[in-house]
Amino acid sequence: MSKPIATLSRTREIMKQYELGFKKSLGQNFIIDANILKKIVDQAGIDEHTVAVEIGPGIGALTEQLALKAKQVLAFEIDQRFIDVLDDTLNPYDNVEVFHQDILEANLLPFLNKHVEEGNSVKVVANLPYYITTPILMKLLREPLPIHSMTVMMQREVADRMAASPNTKEYGSLSIAVQYYTDSKVVMTVPKTCFIPQPNVDSAILRLIKRDQPLANVKDEALFFEIVQASFGQRRKTIKNNLQRAFIDRFSKDMIQQWFEKSGIEPSRRGESLSIDEFAVLANACHDLIQTE
């Protein structure tokens, strides 16, 4: 059995063989510790009934570990240079398909309907490029996809924000957007020494288990997220000040004051002190008052 791809010597050998460099513009940092990858696969709960969707397989280090456990691996790679490499490095595995496509542009619902047999569970597992972590996750969360969970490696600071609780400095609109759709937990940290080239920061593995229903009962999701975003516009200001600033062209101060009266939320509070349920109450009060205008 040859060495795992996720070793320093094998990674260097592959990069040299294909005359490849690391593209900073695509946030490419390759993991060189197979044990870390095995732990990620375990944390993701990959088994013979899992279709694993991977984003950005690179030279196939994580893909290889997924292929050893999953029924099937569907990998999206945006960088043309790696398509031939993956053909070679993943040649021993007949349960892997690589698609040369940007995940952000993929029409995922018909894709998954076509490739996933009934009775199999879809789990996303990925070492996400730092610069595009949030757009990728929000696409996967907001589209009505049959995804059970996402276990993703990302910058430690971003993972902490996504899993943060109210009344912490990490808690903000990103925490709410992620937790509205999922049960989120940081399950591992990964030191920068496990990568080549070494990033400037440590990474973490965040496991997101999709909720059957969103966490809160919201009448208008777009309005809910708009209010959440606005409430954290300036963290030191009260929610009322932030909302007045954000909605100045659409609603009078009197109207915004009515939102608080109807919702029972104290306007002098700051955004970081509100739970997701409280934001839902405020957004629903706003929705009802707009309807009656």
Rounded to 10 degrees, the C-alpha dihedral 283/285/291/292 comes to -160
pLDDT band at 293 (very low <50, low <70, confident <90, very high): confident
pLDDT band at 59 (very low <50, low <70, confident <90, very high): very high
CATH pick for 221-292 out of 3.40.50.970, 3.40.228.10, 1.10.8.100, 3.10.20.740: 1.10.8.100
Measure the CA–CA gap between 40 and 216, rounded to whole angstroms: 29
The residues pairing with 74 across neighbouring beta strands, listed in sequence order, are 53, 97
Q: Average pLDDT in the 107-121 region? A: 96
**Cβ–Cβ under 8 Å, residues 192 and 200:** yes
The residue ranges of every structural domain in the chain are 8-210, 221-292
Assess whether pLDDT exceeds 80 at residue 64: yes
User: Picking from 25-39, 50-64, 121-135, 242-256, which range would have the lowest pLDDT averaged per residue?
Assistant: 25-39
CATH pick for 8-210 out of 3.40.50.150, 3.40.50.20, 3.40.50.300, 3.30.930.10: 3.40.50.150
pLDDT at 20: 84
Reduce the DSSP state of residue 151 to 3 states and report it: strand
**Cβ–Cβ under 8 Å, residues 156 and 201:** yes
- What percentage of the chain has pLDDT greater than the value 90? 88
Give pLDDT tens digits for 14-30: 999 998 876 655 556 88
pLDDT at 151: 98
pLDDT band at 70 (very low <50, low <70, confident <90, very high): very high
Measure the CA–CA gap between 224 and 290, rounded to whole angstroms: 13
Reduce the DSSP state of residue 179 to 3 states and report it: helix
Give pLDDT tens digits for 244-273: 999 999 999 999 999 999 999 999 999 999
Q: Checking DSSP bridges between strand 30-31 and strand 50-55, what pairing results, if any?
A: unpaired
User: Picking from 34-38, 53-57, 64-68, 288-292, which range would have the lowest pLDDT averaged per residue?
Assistant: 288-292
Give pLDDT tens digits for 175-208: 999 999 999 999 999 999 999 888 888 999 999 9
**Cβ–Cβ under 8 Å, residues 163 and 189:** no
- Phi then psi for residue 124, to 5 deg, are -90, 130
Reduce the DSSP state of residue 194 to 3 states and report it: helix
Residue ranges for the known binding site for S-adenosyl-L-methionine are 29, 31, 56, 77, 102, 127
* Six-digit token string for 100: 């040369």
Residue ranges for the known binding site are 29, 31, 56, 77, 102, 127
Q: Give the CA count within 13 Å in the CB-facing half-sphere of 86.
A: 28
Measure the CA–CA gap between 267 and 277, rounded to whole angstroms: 16
Average pLDDT, the chain: 94
Give pLDDT tens digits for 146-177: 999 999 999 999 999 999 999 999 999 999 99
pLDDT band at 130 (very low <50, low <70, confident <90, very high): confident
- Phi then psi for residue 186, to 5 deg, are -80, 120
Assess whether pLDDT exceeds 60 at residue 1: no
Q: Average pLDDT in the 30-36 region? A: 94
CA angle (250, 252, 253) in 5-degree steps: 130
Alpha carbon 268 to chain centroid distance? Answer: 32
